[in-house]
């Protein structure tokens, strides 16, 4: 399927790796970087880029481990800092000197927050982001359920799902094929994507690197339930609370405006996500669960709201928008509303930045 009108693609050499990126808008436009989630690519934003308002330069890179970007390993011990640094390397390579607007979906939410903790940004848009305390194995306040962070990381991924990706399975014959997983968890089950578009996105998922250096990553045996702790490589380890923690954004100074959008039917990022070990254990799907006092189902949305509430209490501007009935990607299953909201937010952030510049 050809790229949508106004969207183009190329590979940009940077001082870290060669980045494949989708682009739209003029090169002198307001720079906006759209960062993908796990098991996707920059092309998942293509519909946002096509027909965008004039004046924006939109960039959606394929992130390390996914798509057509140079295949280099993910150092999970840095959390999502590899992704954040790769984005900054792309920005530098393109000669962009002003702070960029950043949007991050799911895993990308942690990456853009990591970017903002090391360098100035114009705004942050968090689309159903992973919890500020990572994915799996933490109490409500972010404390690990076990000292070794057991119950998170590469060992919690489903090897059968990884096998379907590695095999290039484009069918919907099993619940663990990429197409079936997308339909069940990327967007609301009530939403039907255009078949040709769905084919494109399935093919994008199939470009994911699998194994220890990609999805799910390596693992470490643990004496603690459920018997697996994070390794040091691959994407699920980068999302482990052992390495991933973006709660430090509350200390940013100055604080960029934040837009947080969340689908109320999201089953990936939720209070009690069925993808998370605490929830699976409580439901009896993983034997030996030690109980809620030791390993509670992670309250991901509550954790996001609490951290962003502290960000607001310390002077930050936070806008929360719930998308009733949407799944993990309201940017897709509520495309019209989400896109309108996003560009209105960017315009407001730009207007505020210009006003502050004049006052300064």
Q: DSSP state, 185?
A: I
Helices (H), 43-141: 46-49, 81-93, 107-118
Using CA atoms, how far apart are residues 82 and 88, in angstroms rounded to an integer? 10
pLDDT at site 355: 67
pLDDT at site 356: 72
Using CA atoms, how far apart are residues 38 and 338, in angstroms rounded to an integer? 20
Q: DSSP state, 205?
A: H
Using CA atoms, how far apart are residues 325 and 151, in angstroms rounded to an integer? 29
**Phi, psi angle pair for 31, to nearest 5°:** -75, 130
Q: Is 309 exposed, middle or buried (0-12, 13-18, 19+ CB in 10 A)?
A: middle
E strands within the chain? 8-13, 18-24, 30-35, 56-61, 101-105, 123-127, 210-211, 215-216, 219-221, 228-230, 258-263, 318-323
Cβ neighbours, 10 Å, residue 76 = 27
CATH of the domain spanning 8-147+244-359: 3.40.50.1820
Bond prior to 254 in cis (omega within 30° of 0): yes
Using CA atoms, how far apart are residues 126 and 183, in angstroms rounded to an integer? 22
Using CA atoms, how far apart are residues 282 and 278, in angstroms rounded to an integer? 6
pLDDT at site 1: 76
Q: What is the pLDDT along the chain (360 residues), one digit of tens a residue?
A: 799 999 999 999 999 999 999 999 999 999 999 999 999 999 999 999 998 999 999 999 999 999 999 999 999 999 999 999 999 999 999 999 999 999 999 999 999 999 999 999 999 999 999 999 999 999 999 999 999 999 999 999 999 999 999 999 999 999 999 999 999 999 998 999 999 999 999 999 999 999 999 999 999 999 999 999 999 999 999 999 999 999 999 999 999 999 999 999 999 999 999 999 999 999 999 999 999 999 999 999 999 999 999 999 999 999 999 999 999 999 999 999 999 999 999 999 998 766 675 444
Q: Is 117 exposed, middle or buried (0-12, 13-18, 19+ CB in 10 A)?
A: middle
Using CA atoms, how far apart are residues 173 and 323, in angstroms rounded to an integer? 30
pLDDT at site 70: 98
Helices (H), the chain: 46-49, 81-93, 107-118, 159-166, 178-181, 195-205, 235-238, 277-282, 300-313, 330-333, 335-359
For the record, the structure tokens of 256 come out as 């960029």
Using CA atoms, how far apart are residues 218 and 287, in angstroms rounded to an integer? 22
* pTM recorded for the entire structure: 0.97
């Amino acid at each position: 399927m050809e790229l949508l009108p106004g969207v183009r693609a190329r590979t940009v050499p940077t001082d870290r790796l060669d980045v494949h990126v989708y682009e739209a808008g003029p090169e002198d436009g307001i720079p906006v970087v759209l960062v993908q989630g796990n098991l996707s690519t920059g092309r998942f934003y293509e519909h946002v880029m096509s027909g965008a308002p004039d004046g924006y330069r939109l960039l959606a890179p394929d992130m390390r481990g996914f798509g057509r970007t140079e295949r280099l390993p993910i150092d999970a011990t840095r959390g999502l800092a590899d992704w954040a640094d790769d984005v900054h390397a792309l920005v530098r390579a393109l000669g962009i000197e002003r702070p960029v607007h950043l949007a991050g979906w799911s895993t990308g939410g942690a990456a853009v927050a990591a970017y903002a903790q090391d360098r100035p940004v114009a705004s942050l848009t968090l689309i159903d982001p992973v919890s500020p305390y990572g994915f799996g194995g933490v109490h409500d306040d972010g404390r690990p359920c076990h000292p070794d962070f057991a119950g998170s990381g590469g060992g919690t991924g489903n090897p059968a799902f990884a096998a379907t990706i590695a095999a290039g399975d484009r069918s919907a014959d099993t619940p663990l094929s990429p197409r079936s997983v997308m339909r069940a968890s990327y967007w609301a089950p009530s939403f039907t994507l255009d078949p040709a578009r769905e084919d494109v996105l399935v093919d994008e998922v199939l470009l994911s690197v699998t194994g220890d250096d990609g999805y799910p990553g390596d693992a470490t045996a643990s004496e603690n339930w459920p018997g697996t702790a994070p390794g040091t490589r691959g994407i699920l380890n980068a999302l482990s609370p052992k390495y991933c923690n973006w709660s430090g954004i509350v200390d940013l100074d100055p604080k960029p405006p934040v837009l947080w959008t969340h689908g109320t039917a999201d089953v990936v990022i939720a209070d009690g996500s069925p993808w998370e070990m605490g929830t699976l254990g409580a439901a009896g799907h993983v034997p030996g669960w030690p109980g809620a006092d030791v390993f509670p189902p992670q309250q991901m949305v509550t954790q996001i709201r609490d951290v962003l509430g502290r960000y607001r209490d310390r002077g930050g501007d936070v806008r929360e928008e719930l998308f009733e009935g949407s799944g993990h990607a309201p940017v897709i299953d509520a495309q019209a509303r989400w896109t309108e909201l996003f560009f209105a937010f960017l315009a407001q952030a730009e207007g505020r930045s210009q006003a502050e510049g004049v006052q300064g």
